[in-house]
Amino acid sequence: MSLTVLGIETSCDETAAAVVRVGGADRVRVLSNVILSQIADHAPFGGVVPEIAARAHVETIDAVVAKALTDAGLTLSDIDAVAATAGPGLVGGVMVGLAFAKAVALARDLPLIAVNHLEGHALSARLAQDIAYPFLLLLVSGGHCQLLDVAGVGACKRLGTTIDDAAGEAFDKIGAALGLAYPGGPALERLAQGGDPSRFTLPRALAGREGCDFSFSGLKTAAARIAERLTDDESRRDLAAAVQGAIARQLVERTARAMAVYPRGPDGQAPRFVVAGGVAANAVVRTALRALCEAVGFTFAAPPLVYCTDNAAMIALAGAERLAVGLTDGLDAPARPRWPLDEAAARLQPSHIPGRKGAKA
């Protein structure tokens, strides 16, 4: 039997809708994947402005959902359930997508699935590739930097997280200090091409330290200070290369620690590693993590670029996998600005200290 799910994503600056079918002839089939970026609306402000984002979602959500259905060649009568991001994220935007999904669910008498955006990222690699549970996940985006043991939907255990900034946030802020437009990550990757990563020495936070947490604020401050006094393009290129290398190195070092304690499969199979989230689009980061996997005997997977950054196909997939095991939500499901995947781990210090993290934490 197949399940066809409409997914909606509005937690940051992309208004996105997708239709995904699971089961039947194909394991997973993405029938449509519409992403309307608001980057141009936010660029003049150097970052995402929550009120502008919420308003833009309201203005475009109807058309984006309609296009997702048209692209899939379907109508709402062909949909088995509707899934929407219910957090964590900018709550004004989350409310828009979730309320829209509730309205569709109520009007068409369909099940609603309130999806955790992080669970969407966690499952995103499964959109294009059959990756069995469990796997070790590095979720590395603008709002998050976490290592998770993903055993299935609703079964994620956090092994480590950032104690200050997310890696994507570091890319964005250092990008801004280098005069690059928002979002800084892709722009910094382009700038770094041909740069000498060894010219500038940057701090190595947590190097050799116990555990699998991350820290990027020292790197961010140090790089921003250096950026202020640079006057020529070659130096800016070298600094960008050094920053990218330093971020990749920390991701590798901390992931290696998680791998050291991660169990092998019961049949002695090689354990699986997945990297997902916007920063997984970075080629240097991917290459470094792939090399780590080869060195320590993990299989490596990363979603295609279009599923790394925010999208609704991953939300539809999480919705479909939840629906398949009977996990649906009531129309009173709340929009949640904060919503850790692993509530127990989130209660522990030093992570998830209210007010200390990015907008999407």
Q: Which residues of this chain interact with ligand KG4, rule CB under 6 A?
A: 12, 141-143, 168, 171-172, 183-186, 189, 277-279, 281-282, 309-310, 360
- Shorter beta-carbon distance to Zn ion: residue 93 or 111: 93
The closest alpha carbon to 284, from 234, 236, 253, 242, belongs to: 242
What's the closest the beta carbon of residue 326 comes to ligand KG4, in angstroms?
A: 28
Nearest CB to ligand KG4, comparing residues 186 and 203:
186
CB-based burial, 48-63: b 16+ in 10 Å, e otherwise: bbbebbbbbbbebbee
- Which of Zn ion, ligand KG4, none binds 342 (CB below 5-8 Å, type-dependent)? none
CB of 243 to ligand KG4, least distance (A): 10
**E strands of 122-177, at which residues?**
135-140, 145-150, 156-161
How far apart are CB 206 and ligand KG4 at their closest, in Å? Answer: 20
Minimum distance from CB of 345 to ligand KG4 (Å)? Answer: 19
Dihedral pair phi/psi, residue 138, rounded to 5°: -105, 110
Comparing CB distances to ligand KG4, the nearer of 117 and 272 is 117
Question: How far, in Å, CA of 13 to CA of 30, rounded?
Answer: 22
Angstrom distance (rounded) from CA 278 to CA 254:
18
223-282 positions binding Zn ion, by CB under 5 A = none
**Residue 183 or 319 having the CB closest to ligand KG4:** 183
Considering CB distances under 5 to 8 angstroms, the limit depending on partner class, which of ligand KG4, Zn ion, none binds residue 340? none
Applying CB under 5 A, among 169, 310, 321, 342 the residue interacting with Zn ion is: 310
User: DSSP string covering 231-295, please?
Assistant: -SHHHHHHHHHHHHHHHHHHHHHHHHHHHHHSPPPTT-PPPEEEEESGGGG-HHHHHHHHHHHHH
Binding mask 88-127 toward Zn ion (x if CB under 5 A, else -) reads ----------------------------------------
Smallest separation, CB 265 to Zn ion (Å)? 29
- Please say which residue, 92 or 143, places its beta carbon nearer to ligand KG4: 143
Find out whether the peptide bond into 197 is cis, omega within 30 degrees of 0. Answer: no
Contact 298/273 with Cβ under 8 angstroms? yes
In the complex, least distance from residue 184 CB atom to ligand KG4, rounded to whole angstroms: 5
Q: Which is nearer to Zn ion, 172 or 310 (CB)?
A: 310
Q: How many helices (DSSP H) and strands (DSSP E) are in the chain?
A: 12, 10
**Where do we find the tokens 């090689």?**
270
Comparing CB distances to ligand KG4, the nearer of 101 and 281 is 281
Give the orientation angle of helix 184-192 with respect to helix 283-296, to 10 degrees: 80
Q: Are strands 14-22 and 145-150 parallel, antiparallel or unpaired?
A: unpaired
134 contact choice in ligand KG4, Zn ion, none (CB below 5 to 8 Å, kind-dependent): none
Helix 184-192 to helix 233-261 angle, to the nearest 10 degrees? 110
Under rule CB under 5 A, how many of the chain's residues touch Zn ion? Answer: 2
Where does this chain bind Zn ion (CB under 5 A)?
A: 141, 310
